[in-house]
Every structure is written in C-alpha cells, then in structure tokens.
Chain A
Amino acid sequence: MARLSIEHLRKVYGEFTAVDDCSIDITEGEFLVLLGPSGCGKTTTLRMVAGFIQPTAGRITIGERDVTGLPPWKRNCGLVFQSYALFPHMTVAENVAFGLEMRKIAPADRGPRVTEALRLVRLTGLDERYPRQLSGGQQQRVALARALATEPDVLLLDEPLSNLDAKLRQEVRVEIRDLQRKLGLTTIMVTHDQEEALTMADRLVVMEKGKVRQIGTQRELYEKPADRFVAGFIGRSAFLEGEATGGRFRSEGGLDIACKAATAGPATLALRPERLAIGTEAEACANRFPARVEHVSYLGALLDIDVRLTEQDRILLQVPNRQGAAEPRPGDMITIGWAEDAGLVYPREP
C-alpha cells in the first residue's frame, strides 16, 4: 500500500473542463470517497488515476512513483468497475488469477493466492463457475477479489454498489469497509450516494462542476460546510436569501436574524433542520419567529415540518416524534427559534 497524491489535476475536452485544478492527498490506508452529482468530474478523476484518461495538466504520484505518463497496465491500481467487468469466458478462478498471470507469477503460486483472495471476499467453492452463473452480489465479490489478488498499491472503486439491491448494498458496504481496514488498503471510491459515502469514508471530497468544493471528515462537511453547495448537498439545509451586515442577516421577507456572519452584502443563510426548535423550546433561542405550518411529513422517528415565516421565507424543520404529544398541524401558528450560531452565512453565488 502507498500514499497517493493528486496535484493540480486538470482535464479539458475542447470547451468543456471536466476536472479543474484538483488536488487531493490520500494517506496510506485511508478510505477516501469522491462524492458529487453526476457530471461533477469524480469518475474522470478516478479514471485519470487508473490511467484510462490522460490529464491535460497536473501530476499523480503513487508512493514515490510519478505515474502521470504511465499506461494503465503499469500503474498497479486495482479497479473495481461499476459493471464489474468480469471476463465472461473465464471461470471465477481464472478471472482472479488473470492479474497474477500478467505479473508473471508461477502457476503453482497462483492457486493459493486465488484461494486467499476469494476467501477474503467470502466466496469459496465457486472457483469453476462462470460469471453468468453468479448472482450480482457474487459477481461483485469476484471483481473485488480479482482487484485484491494482485496486491495493488491503491484500490479504486467506481460506484461499486450501485448495481446491487438495497439490502445487499448495506451488507457489502460494511464488508468492503472491514476488508479495507483489515488490509490497510489505500482506497478511493467514487459514488453519488451520500449515505454510502458518509458510512464508508475516512474523508470525503465533495466535487461539483469539475472543482473540489471541500475535503473533510463527515463532521466537518456537515457542521462546517465550506459553501452553499456543500451545505445543500451534504445533508439537508433550509436556505434563506437576503443581505448580511456585520453580525446580522436581513432576509428578503424582512426578518432580522442574529448570526455570526463574516461577510457583508447579498448572502444566503443556511439552517440545518435539526438545529431548529419549536414551541417552548424555542423561547431560549436568540432568534424567535412566528411561523405558519404548511405541511407535516410523518417519518416515524422524526417529523418533517414545512413552515412559512414570511411570504418569501420558508424553512424545513425536523423534530423528534414524541408520540402522544400534540403535533403541529397544517395551518397552526407556532413559534420557531434557533441559536445565533445555527445559521451559516455564505456570500450569494452568481
């Protein structure tokens, strides 16, 4: 295993910039997730690391090796494809042995390593099957075993779980994570599934329109999102548009809100739904406003409540479901409140 470093990576297709000045450092044994909406450049970045796309500019280093100009077959990256990409004309054992064969490992030594790789992914006794005779989950494991058997310097996962059904996805998620920890694999995973990203990653990279928006742990991204995009993309946020002036925020609807704003001028105030209080709990808050309940969604443990503060200002809040207690109903007037530090202010994006 090795550390991986991506420096000022850039990929331009004609007029379109797929990846723009992307720099990421991944330490040895770290599980890094590239997260973003489709078309954000995360897959392009992964494919540049694997060597299938030649970057327009920038540098990729694996351990001490500069691999930027190397073809895919000289990079020693194990890639698990979204479609698994198993060789249909080879058995499970032959699929897993392929990488060993390419590394000129003697046939006698391949067997034990194939067995070991299949044991790691808990897939024994299927060596002589063909991929078409396996379920999606089993194919996924073979793809993983095939990548692991070669003992790659870095493991790359391209949406590895997106073709599995929901229940299996949960299981495999935990398995991959355990395996990655146990073997100390330096890993990059690409996904658009936020929950998957949050449960698996040591650190996450949020990308949008080819740019890295923020790199950090789950807590950093959720509690201190770097910009409005991250605040909206990781978890949920309610947004109020308005003007910031030192320590205050005036919404479009005329609300005067206490906040810790560093900026001045046109701005957006982001509020996490669970930081909002209602009724008597709101009384101690620095910001208190009357609001009309527009819609209530019952989610079991939680209630999602849409409220309207003014004509322009709407907020989503989330309160625990205290069974038996009086629940707000559409049309009710309630008081909502939040602490001064609950609102995050971002300059308005063009």
Chain B
Amino acid sequence: MFKTFFLSELKYTLKQPMVYIFIFILALMEFFATVSDNVQVGGAIGNVYRNSPYTITIHVTVFCVFSLLMAVAFFNNAALRDHNNEFNEILFTTPLSKPGYFFGRFLGALVVSTLPLLGVFIGMLLGTYMNSIFGWMDTERFGDFYLETFINNYLLFILPNMFLAGSVIFAMANKWKSTIISFVGGLVIIVAYIVSGSLMSDVDNETIAALSDIFGINTYFLETKYFTPIEKNTISPGFSGLLFKNRLLWTAVGAIILMISYFSFSFKTKNKKVKKQKVKNSDKETVFALPNLNPTFNAATNWIQFKSFFYTNFLSIVKSVTFKILFLFCIIILVVDLSQGFEFMGLQSYPLTYKLIDSIKDNTNLFTIIILIFFSGELIWRDRDSKINEVVDATSHTSFISMAAKALSLVCITSILNLFFILIGIIYQLLNGFTRIELDVYLLDFFYENFALYIVFGGIMIMIQVLSSNKYIGYFISVLVLLVWEIILNILDINSNMLDIGGGSSIFYSDMNGFGPGLKSTLWFNLYWILLSVIGLLIAGALWNRGSKSSLLSRIKTARKEVPKSYRGFIAILSVIWLGVAGFVYYNTQVLNPYRSNDTEEQLMAEFEKKYSKYKEAVHPKVTDAKYYIDIFPNKRDIHVKADIKLTNESNQAIDSLHFFNKEGWDTKLNIPNAKPVYKDSTYLYTIYKLSKPLQPGQSIVMKLDNKFITKGFKNSIGNTMIINNGTFFNNGDILPAMGYNDNYEISDNNTRKKYDLEPKERTPELSSELSELHNRNYINNGESDFINVETIISTVKEQTAIAPGSLIKKWEENGRDYYHYKTDTPSLNFYSFMSADYELKKRKWNGIDIEVYYDEKHPENVDMMLDAVERSLAYYTKNFGPYFHKQCRIIEFPRYASFAQAFPGTMPYSEAIGFIINLEDETENNVVDAVIAHEMAHQWWAHQVIGANMQGSTLMSESFSEYSSLMTMKNMTENPMKMREFIKYDHDRYLRGRSGEREKELPLYKVENQQYIHYGKGSVILYALQDYIGEAKVNLAMKNFLEEYRYKKPPYPTSLDFIRHLEPQVPDSLKYLVTDWFKEITLYDNRLKEANYKKLDNGKYEVTLEIESSKIKSDSLGNETKANINDWIDVGFFMDDDEERLFSQKRIKFNKESTSITMQLDSLPVKAAIDPRHILIDRVYKDNIKSISLEK
C-alpha cells in the first residue's frame, strides 16, 4: 500500500513539467554563479575554487531556502490532490491503510522536492565543464570534484531541510486543506528564517547559535570559520560535530511534527458548514428561445475572436500554479534585494528611478524569460493537451488571429508583471520618502528594453513551438536558441547584435544624459527584431497545425493551398521592410561603425607588438607646452580639436624621426615643420615622420594638430560614452596621438601572450635605486612629458558650460556659441580633462582659492557638503604637506557611464553614481563621499606635485598617500576613535579580498605594481597604523620632507625607496621592525581572544583575565604562509557597551609568545574585551578578537 502511493506520487509529479522547470531554473542560476562573478549566491566566492566543496555547500544551503517555495507546491499537491479533485470520497471509502497513504504520499513528495536542488549540482558541473572549454574564467580557479560533496550535501542539507519544511507544509495542508495557506506557510518559514538569521547573529554563544539554525546554514559557517583555502577546497561537510548534531535535532523536530500530523489525520472530512445556496427561482422560470442568429465573418469578427482568444489564453496563464509560484518567487527576490537598499560603502544611495529599474531587471528578467518560454509551449499545445483542438480548429477563424492572441497574452502577462514590479519600485521609493519618481523613465525604459524583448521572444518562442512536433522539443529548441546560440556566437567570436536573438546595444539611463548614446541603436535593433518576430508569427499562423497532426512538410503543402494571397502579400511586404531595416542596421553597425571581435583585437595587438616593438627604444622629444582650440558639438556628438604642441628634445642625442600612434575613431592631421610622413600604417594608425633637419638636444619644434571626432549613425554597441549630449568628458590622452611605440597596447595576460609566441611581460619594471632611463619617466606620462603649461580655448553650445584646466581668463559669445579661455597657473602633469555639460555652479572662496562644484540640476543635495569636504582637505593638506599651487579646486559631475572620481590638475571629475546621489541627510559625521573628495584632493599633492618613476612601488606615493591623507582628514574631525574602525574596515576587506583574488603575485607594499588592493587597501591600513604607532606628525613630516625634495621637479623621479629614506629617521628604534614587516614584507596577524573572565574584588574593582593567542604570519608572493615569531606591540582594550562604541582602558602591550594570559584591574566592569580593539592591524579573522566578558567560574 505504501509502495503504491509512494510510486504513484512519484509518477504523477514526474509527469508534470513543474519539477523540470525548477531543476532548470536552479541549474541555470548555479551555472551563472559558477562561471560569472556577476551572479553571487551567498556572497562572493573569493579565493577558494569556484567549484570547491565549500562553495558548493554554501550554494546548496542558500538555494535550499529559496526552493522551499517549490517544495510547498509538491507537498501541498501530495496532501490535497485527492481532495481538490473530489476523489477523496471515493478513495477514502476504500479499505485504505492510513500509514500507507499518509507516508507514501509524504515520502513521494519528499523525494520529488529534493530533485530541483540537484539542479545546483548540474549547474555547477556544467559550468565547470563549459568553462574548461570556453575559458570565461581562469581555469585555475576550478579544482577537483568530490562525489562525497554531492552525497553529503544531499544527506546533510537537501534531504533534512526538505524533510523539515515538508513536514510543516504537509501538516498545514492536511489541517487546513488550502493551497493558499500552504503557500503563505512556506513564505512565513522563509521570512522567519531570514529574520531570525539576523537576530541570531548577535548571539554570543556559538553552540546555541549553531544548533538553533533550522537549516544548518550558519552552523556550517561556524564550522568552517577557520578553514584555510586548502581546507575549503578539499573538505566536504561531514557527519560529525555541531553540524551533524544540528541536523539530527531538526530532523527529529520534523519527525515529531509529521507524527502529530499523522495522528490527527483522518480520512473523514469534517462537517463543513454548508452554505445555503440561494434559491434562484427566476432561473427556473426563464424561457430560453433560440435567438435569430446572424453569424458574420468580417474584420470586426476577427477582432472579437482575437479578444476572446486573448482572454482565454491570458486567464489560463494567470490561473496556473506554475505562474503563481514564479510570480511569488520574483517578488520575494525583488523585495529581499530592495530591502537591503542601495548600499555604497556603508551609505545608502537615494532610491533613484534608474537604480530601481536596474534592480528590477537584475532580479526578475530571468523569471520573465522562463515564463515566456514555458507559457509559449503551454499556450500553443493547450488546445491539444485539453483535447479541444478539433473543435476549435473546425471553427471559422484565421490561425494567425489565434497565434497573435497567444503572443499578445504572453507579452501582456510579462508586461503586467513588469508594471507590477515598477509599482513595487514606486512604493519602495515613497516608503523611503523619495519623491522624485520618474514615471516616464520607468515606462520608457520598459518600453525600450523589456517590452521589446517580450515581443521578440514571445513571437519567436511561439514560432518555435508551432514548428515543433511536440511541446518538449519546442522547449528544447527554445532553450537552445536562447542560451546555446549565445554560446555558439561566443565561440565563433561573432559580436553582431543582428545575430544575437533580441540583441541590441544597451541603454543606460543617467540623470545627466538620459537614455544615452545607445538609444538610437536600441530603437533600430528593436524594430529589426520586432519585425522579424511578427514575420515569425505570421509564418507560424500559416503553418499552424490545424486538425490532425501532420508533418511540417505536409503543413507547408497545405499552407501553399490555403493561405490567401493577401496574407502572403503581407508576409512579403513585411519581409521587404525587414530587409530594408536590416540593411540600414547593417550599414550603420558594420559599415559606418565597424568594430573588431575580441579575437581579431587580440590578434591585432599581437601583430602590433611583433611589428613595432623594435621602435621601443626610439628616442622622442617631450611635450613641453600645449595650446588647444576645442569645439564641442554635444548635439551632434562631434568634436573638433586644433592644437599647437611644442616638442622639445630633452635627450642628449639628435632625433631624426617622430613616431605617432593615432587614436582610433579620430580623423587626425599632423602638420610638423620640416617633416614628411615616410611611413603610414592604416591598420594601426602608426605613422613615422622624417625630419629634414634632425632635432638637436635642447631644440624645440611646434607641431600643429587637427583632429576631428565625428559621430556617424549608430553602433552595434552602446557607442562612445565620452562624447555625448550632456556630460562630455575626455582627457588629453583621448585626443592626442601617442608618441612612439606604446606598450600599453601590448597584450598583458601572459597566457594569451604565450598563444601568440610572445615573451612573458612584466607587469611593472622592477624597483631599483640605481638611476636609469626608467627614473626619467613618471608612471603617468611614461616619458612623453613632465610638468607643462596648458592653455585652452574651448567652445560649446550655449546651454552648456565647457571646462578645461586652469583659470578662466575670458568668456565670450561667437556665432551663437560660448567660448572659454582657460590657462593653467602652474606647470602641471600633462594629464587633464575637458568637459562640457549643462551645469549648475556653486562656489566658495578659501584663502584665495576658488572652490567650485559643477553639478546637474537634479543633484543639489550634497553640494554644500562637498564644498566643506574640499575646504577641510585644503586646510589639512596645506598645513601638513605644503602649499596648493592652483587657483581653483573644481568638482565636476559626469554621467554614470563610469563610477569613479579622478584628480586632474585643479579639477576633479566626479561620477554622478558615487557622490551626488548618496543620501547624506542623516550623516552628521564624515562619510565616504567626503573620503573620496579628500582622496582626490590629496592627489593634488600626491601625484600632481610629486609623482613616482614608472616602476614598482610608485603608487604607494600617490594612491596610498592619498588614501592615508583622506583618512587623516576624517580622523581629525572624528571624536570617537571607534568610528574610524568602520572606515578602515573597508580597506581591510579590500586588501584581504584582493589578495585572495590575486592571479600573479602579491608584492610587499613598497613594491606594489599598480595593484589596487595593495595600494588602496593595504597602503591605507599600514599608513594609518603607522601614524598610530609613531605619531601622526612624524608620518606627515616624513611625507612632507619627501615632497619637498621632489615637488614639481624634472626627472629623475623618486621611488618608494626615496620615501623610506625619509621615513626611517622618524621611526624610533623600538619600532623599526614595522618598516620591515609592513612595507618590505607581507605580514599578517592572527590574534584571538580565547577567554575573557572577570571576578569582583573586595576593593570594589574588577579583575579581568584575558587568554590571548597571538601570532604573526609572513606570506611570500605566492601566498605560502609561514609563522614568524611574535615580538610585537599590540593594543588590548575594553568596551563599555555592546555596540563597541565606548572604548575603555586601552593599553599597548608587547606580545612575545603565542599564548598570553593578561590580568588587569579595572574600576568598572566592561561588557567586552578585545585584542586590537580599533582594528589597526591586518588580521586574517578579526571577528574573534572580541569577546563578551563573563563571570569567572
């Protein structure tokens, strides 16, 4: 009996598509989580293998929670199917065995509900396998598989969790016999779990926390807290320890719930309250007469038939359970995502409309596509599946009407979903008190992107289903077309969006520049695909299998006979229009704006190196003066540049030829006195000019440059995002041809280099103190120039303001355009930007310096705070490092095509995405917006006044110094030292995360090779700690001395060794080890507070005993770690509150052995104790440094 029910349950469910859809969804999500960093499940993967047992387990546990909703469907069905089909009365009167029925059904559902999670394994295996072929990710980030991982995960997480959740749902379904209540129950479990997870994270007792997690996720986290990467890569979760106890505990709870449900289960239905049916007498008496009918078949009939088809199809989707589950799933994912807000480095962005649009797309697009695929099959095969096809087919309607109605109902369902998500977005904005709701942006974005996508996919999916001989073949082909086709294009290295179904250049909304440069292209691509989709639908209408099933061939024959001329004519006309559109798109995206595929690009780079690297050593004159005449035409997106560039031979040999490497997309004309082009390569835009009279050392010539950027038509991709309607932003490097051989154009990845027989390339030249040619080049200009004067006359349309480096000397109007004349006040790095947009301007004066913020009218909120931040930076830096040489400090907003801020001489372009839209209303203290400004302001000293030679360690003196300076401005306005811990936490994280993702080698700080995690992350932490150990004034003095030696100096440029030379005198002998540990070697700490106990003394004081483990780890550049003897000064301190805000009785103590016991007498009893309470040392795991103090037993 048990077996019968068990097997029938399995058979029944396995015949339904639902379980396969779920497997597919999870496999797909896991696939992307495996091969892409954009999809993260339960946090970033980090430095373990992407398919490590650890990663798999985390993914499985997280998916377990989300697949509960799927489990609801299975368990609810198992409990209620007979009831809903009103079969129960028949079934339950037969001599059934109750346990057989009850447990048969339950276990059947249990087995089925674990199946979707196998999709995780499938996705992971598939992802790993496919990656080994296509190499989306470095294959070294994948390791071996262990069968044990899969089995143990199934037995430890999937099965027990489904059992527990299933017993609850099954019990609820049996009790209340309502699908809705079951679903709500499932939701409640998920929500309760997520909420309790955040509550439990405060629980100090790890055992209790580990046992109380009903799904064992946090238990697993706890068990693996101290796992090294190697352990994470090899050890699967096992049947021991807390995890196993947790699993036994909750399985037992599940069993108890199931037993209670079993004993209260009865075949008898309770006496329901019978609703009295209203007696409708009127019905009985109605006399029905056959009306006089006038069947009509004309255009109006078509329309009414279309509506009726639409209505029935639409309803059938809305009422389907699969749809409801997918719908709920989307909403949960979206709401969970929104509930986290739009975090940016500990701050929240304003919930701008485009942020919500992005969130909606990221979270729900996968589901709407699945809905499209699934229901295209359902709708097409619905008549046949319901066995009503012959009746419907024999009625007088055009097949196309029916096809179109199906397509439209798909489009409508997905559109309504999308509009619903938009509504959620708007509600979210309002709940957050944000009232700048841009309904037009929501709707236009929907219209431009998703709506078009739905039409295209809807039409194409329907055509596929019509042409397929059964539903599942149709699904198979649909998935092939959507996913596999993409992969094939990838392999063939075809990038044209004309072949990528539904493809087009993307639109990217920015408050400054609207939908941006991709809009035109997007609209044309939409037209191209929608026409194709309609043609597909028309063909589907013609080939619709009306009547008995017949082969495609015979359907084509039938169509030839039956399809009316007008219909064929319509297809023909549409096809002609489509061909026209296709031609136009082709002309624009391939002829007017050709592009290279990745492979071609790579090949070209390799050839370039082989062909021209012989000129690597050619000596060039330096740019010593520049004058620009720039005309910006934002509406046409054109730029005309004329420039007079003074070239001076600063070498000690005569130069007889000049090498140029022109910029792609620019029409460049060079006019060099006494020079003739002798070589021109139109592929690489490499030209060589021969000087009739060699340029002698010390001699100069003025080169005239005429450079035009003309935007033509539209591109395959989004196109140029520098030269745009509002917010044009480019720098001198974008417009000037590069001088000589440019090794930036070489392939940098050594594996790729091997493919083309190129020697491995060093990331950065090695640090050396011996002066060489390398010291003559700073790492930004690489020898092309040093510090120069720049003068610019720049014009733009009247609505906009154009900005160039230096002081504005004059502004005038000419030919309806505004002209500006700028000139630098002091020689600066040959590295500056030109911008033009419709700006608001707010300014203030500080000690004769103009502080200006140029911003978009939509973003006035933070401008005053930005001015304050600039002022604070100027104050601190001028006081501690020396004068500021420019007469202005400009912050200039630019659209969010990039999200950075950058320091140019006296100006700071600042992306709208990172500063202007952050909500600072409740921020009383300093924050990351200030920090970014302070960092970029610091670059005016660190990079623009002194800059390192082009070799290892140079970014220490620009990026690390700036980050440190920025921290100092904050430190000086922060009263509570604990506040700083929050700031440097980001730097700690950045470093630790970065080093685990290092692909070549980690280097000590003084040899950093432009590695961001080192120069930003580690550099700031080290310098911050250093000032804590030797004093802020000492560090600043070392930096100032270094600056003064090299400020605005001609080459040779300094190196990190020069800084250390200035630093060492400032460090007391007792702390000299810090310079070695922190700058010259890679050192990590592993501090732990094992025990913290107190007892009350008779004198009213408290004696606190701390058991501390402390070790120091040295790492080589490959990450091999060895323990070093500890002999270090480390802080020990206490907190008077749970939130660790009130630091109390901090002491710096010398540790010289691994285990130390410290006893202290304190006047009052603190709540927590900590080693390194302010987190200034780089600790592998910081969380274990702090512990609540408990009474000594």
Q: Do A and B come from one complex?
A: no
Chain A contacts to B: CB under 8 angstroms = none
